[in-house]
């Protein structure tokens, strides 16, 4: 592990994290009640989340277009993009499971991590469960691969 | 009956634009997807790959920003958790399992993936939005009716 190029990029990524957290807080994505109300079309509906997506894509679509004009990013040797474009059962099943968990509490990873900064206990309970779920999924995936190779 | 509550179009558009800006910045500098699934996973064993530094810096920034707003008493938008506490670890576990298999959440698939016009991300976003809507409907209007 060579630390030097990484160290150079730390102030930049810290700043980008601050911008992300600010966006999550201002947009209302940090508030589980607001998220649940977005999905409650049949009750107390709050359409705000659609505006978060619209605002995000209005910047990221043209922004990515500009970024990908370059051969490589400013502080790294290349772009790290997903290598697969397969639409498979893991993608659909995993996303469905995520949606169920999201609907149960209104917390998603991008909302819950910034919410840790509010000094409330609820985001910690959610994030602890989330990390356990990630580790469990990794174990199951490794086992599945092993079984497939055997 | 549907009624519109707590609608914040301007703040949500502006906040969304900041999330997009962060995503563009991370792609332009480190060439990385600003998806919280990948970033959190990358600092949890056994995923660690020598790229923990920038991930931790990003996460610390993401936590500090709302902290600062909160401590400065600038809190235009509320925070409340309208579900029983015991559902939180359960919901977290489902989310952790789901985003690992599905390889992303609203930040990664939603803001970054859709901006690259990735069909995978479009399928993921449609699936988790639908699953969340069905879940909220069942919890609030079938069980809670």
Q: What is the ipTM of this complex?
A: 0.95
Residue B127 CA to residue B89 CA, distance in Å, equals 22
Name the domain count of chain A. 1
Asked if the structure places residue B1 within a domain, the reply is no
What per-residue confidence (pLDDT) applies to B123? 97
Residue B3 lies in a domain: no
A 29-48 → B contacts, CB under 8 A: 29-34, 36-37, 39-48
Instruction: Pull the structure tokens for residue B101.
Output: 């298999």
pLDDT band at B103 (very low <50, low <70, confident <90, very high): very high
Give me the domain span that covers residue B95: 9-143
Residue A146's pLDDT band, with cuts at 50, 70 and 90, is confident
Percent of chain B clearing pLDDT 90 (strictly above): 81
Residue B4, domain member (yes or no)? no
pLDDT at A6 exceeding the cut of 70: no
Question: Does B91 touch chain A if contact means CB atoms closer than 8 Å?
Answer: yes
Report CA A19 to chain centroid distance, whole Å: 14
pTM: 0.94
Strands (E), A48-88: none
Give A86-148 as a 3 state SS string: CCCHHHHHHHHHHHHHHHHHCCCHHHHHHHHHHCCHHHHHHHHHHHHHHHHHHHHHHHHHHHH
> Rounded mean pLDDT of chain B?
92
- Give residue A142's domain range: 3-149
Q: Is the pLDDT of residue B1 over 70?
A: no
pLDDT at residue A68 above 70?
yes
Q: Per the structure, how many domains does chain B have?
A: 1
What Rg do the C-alpha atoms of chain B give, in angstroms?
A: 17
Higher pLDDT, B47 or A75: A75
Residues of B in contact with A84 (CB under 8 A): 120
Q: Best residue in B26, B37, B44, B58 to probe A by mutation, most A CBs within 10 Å?
A: B58
Residue corresponding to tokens 């530094």:
B53
Minimum mean pLDDT among A25-34, A141-150, B97-106: which range? Answer: A141-150
Inform me whether the pLDDT recorded for A59 exceeds 70: yes
A147 compared with B56, residue with greater pLDDT: B56
Q: Do A133 and B61 touch (CB under 8 A)?
A: no
The whole-angstrom separation of Cα B133 and Cα B138 is 9
Asked, for residue B2, whether it belongs to a domain, the answer is: no
3-class SS of residue A45: strand
- Cα–Cα distance, A90 to A74 (Å, whole number): 33
CA–CA separation, A35 and A20 (whole Å): 17
Segment (H or E) for A3 = helix A3-27
Question: pLDDT grade, residue A1 (50/70/90)?
Answer: very low
Would you tell me the crossing angle of helices B87-102 and B119-137 to the nearest 10 degrees? 160
- The size of the A-B interface in CB pairs under 8 A is 515
């Amino acid at each position: 592990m060579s630390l030097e190029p990484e160290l150079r990029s730390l102030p930049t990524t810290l700043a980008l994290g601050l911008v992300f957290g600010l966006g999550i807080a201002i947009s209302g994505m940090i508030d589980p009640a607001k998220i649940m109300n977005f999905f409650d079309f049949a009750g107390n509906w709050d359409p705000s989340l659609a505006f978060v997506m619209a605002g995000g894509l209005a910047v990221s679509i043209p922004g990515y277009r500009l970024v990908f004009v370059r051969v490589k990013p400013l502080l790294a040797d290349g772009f790290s993009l997903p290598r697969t474009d397969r639409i498979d059962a893991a993608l659909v099943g995993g996303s469905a499971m995520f949606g169920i968990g999201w609907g149960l509490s209104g917390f998603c990873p991008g909302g819950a991590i910034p919410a840790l900064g509010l000094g409330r206990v609820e985001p910690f309970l959610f994030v602890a469960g989330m990390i356990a779920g990630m580790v469990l999924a990794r174990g199951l995936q490794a086992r599945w691969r092993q079984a497939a190779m055997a | 009956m549907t009624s519109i509550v707590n609608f914040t179009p301007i703040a949500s558009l502006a906040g969304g634009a900041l999330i997009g800006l962060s995503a563009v910045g991370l792609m332009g500098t480190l060439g990385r997807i600003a998806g919280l699934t990948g970033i959190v996973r990358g600092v949890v064993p056994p995923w660690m790959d020598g790229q923990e530094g920038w991930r931790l810096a990003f996460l610390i920034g993401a936590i500090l920003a709302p902290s600062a707003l909160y401590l400065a008493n600038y809190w235009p938008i509320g925070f409340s958790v309208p579900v029983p506490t015991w559902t939180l670890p359960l919901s977290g576990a489902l989310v952790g399992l789901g985003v690992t298999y599905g390889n992303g959440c609203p930040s990664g698939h939603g803001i970054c993936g859709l901006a690259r016009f990735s069909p995978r991300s479009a399928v993921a976003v449609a699936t988790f939005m639908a699953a969340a809507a069905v879940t909220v409907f069942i919890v609030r209007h079938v069980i809670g009716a």
